[in-house]
Structures are given as C-alpha cells and as structure tokens.
Amino acid sequence: MPENTKRILGIHAGLVFAELVCVSAFALEIGRALSGNTLSWAYVFEWPVFAAYAIYVWHRLLKEERAPIEQDDATPNETNEPDDSALRAYNSYLNRMHAAPTDDSETPS
C-alpha cells in the first residue's frame, strides 16, 4: 500500500475516532443534563463544537495531503536567501581560519 494512502487512511481513522468520542460524550452529557445536572448543559453545547472542529481539521489535513508538492527552484549551489555581505564576510573569515596551517610547537604541553 502506498505511503500516501496510509496517511490518508490514518486521517480518516482519526476523524472517526474523534467523532465517536464527541458523540459518546454528547450522549452522556445530555443524559446528565436532563437528569438535573445544570453544569452538563454547557457540555451539551460544547461537544458538537468539538465535533465540528474535528471535521474542519480533517478537511484541512486531507487538502494538505492531496496538494501537489511544489519543487524548489534553487539548485544545490544556490539558495533563495537574500544576499548578506556580513554573512559572506563571516563565512570567508571561517574559511581562512580553517585553511590556516596550525603550528603545534607553540601550544604548551
């Protein structure tokens, strides 16, 4: 099975799990609210909002997964970063430091 198909099935499975949790919690809270627990009325309205948000996230993830991958126009030797003279000077300094011969006779033992 292709990797892309596995990810899409995982996204669908996540939605099913989230909706099952939201529907179960909604059913529990509506039962508690109808039996006199006034705090549960807040949850009765909250769980459908969570379920709607799960659908929104599911839709966004599918859209992102199915979008074509954009190719980067940069070749391996060039970057899309802005030209920075300070960075060039620092990199030049580092190259000179690494290229300089080391004299081990001056280091104390």
What is the helix, strand, coil percentage profile of the chain, to 5?
70, 0, 30
In angstroms, rounded to a whole number, what is the distance separating the alpha carbons of residues 50 and 75? 45
- Which of 8-17, 75-84, 99-108 shows the highest mean pLDDT? 8-17
- Write the CA distances from 93 to 78, 86, 89, 98, 100, integer angstroms: 20, 11, 6, 9, 11
CB 93 within 8 A of CB 100: no
User: Considering the entire predicted model, what is its pTM?
Assistant: 0.60
CB 54 within 8 A of CB 18: yes
Q: What is the pLDDT of residues 12-46, one digit of tens each?
A: 999 999 999 999 999 999 999 999 999 999 999 99
Where do the DSSP E strands lie in 42-81? none
In angstroms, rounded to a whole number, what is the distance separating the alpha carbons of residues 88 and 78? 13
Own/partner contacts of 80-84, CB < 8 Å, gap of 24 or more, are none
More confident residue, 60 or 78: 60
CB 48 within 8 A of CB 26: yes
